[in-house]
Amino acid sequence: MNQYYVYIMTNASGTLYTGITNNLMVRVWQHRSGVVPGFTSKYNISRLVYFEDTNDVVSAIEREKQIKG
């Protein structure tokens, strides 16, 4: 059974980023290391502030949209 995570990260100035992943530890490492170009590397998003888990990817996507909304 797969595990999915909805997570929120931030930077020192309080900019928020919300995402989903199936491997939270690797994804947080990617954000902190800046290995993936884009929003999180541009704004130095590096601090995990919240996460929740689910076994259903559709529920994870819906929850991410709810948080962003």
- Which tokens go with 37? 């170009």
Specify the pLDDT at position 1: 79
Q: Would the pLDDT of 60 be above 90?
A: yes
CATH of the domain at 45: 3.40.1440.10
DSSP 43: T
Specify the pLDDT at position 5: 98
**What does the alpha-carbon distance between residue 62 and residue 69 come to, in Å, rounded to a whole number?**
10
Note the pTM of the prediction, 2 decimals: 0.93
Q: How many domains does the chain have?
A: 1
Structural domain span for residue 57: 4-68
pLDDT, tens digit (0-9, with 9 covering 90-100), for 3-54: 999 999 999 999 999 999 999 999 999 999 999 899 999 999 999 999 999 9
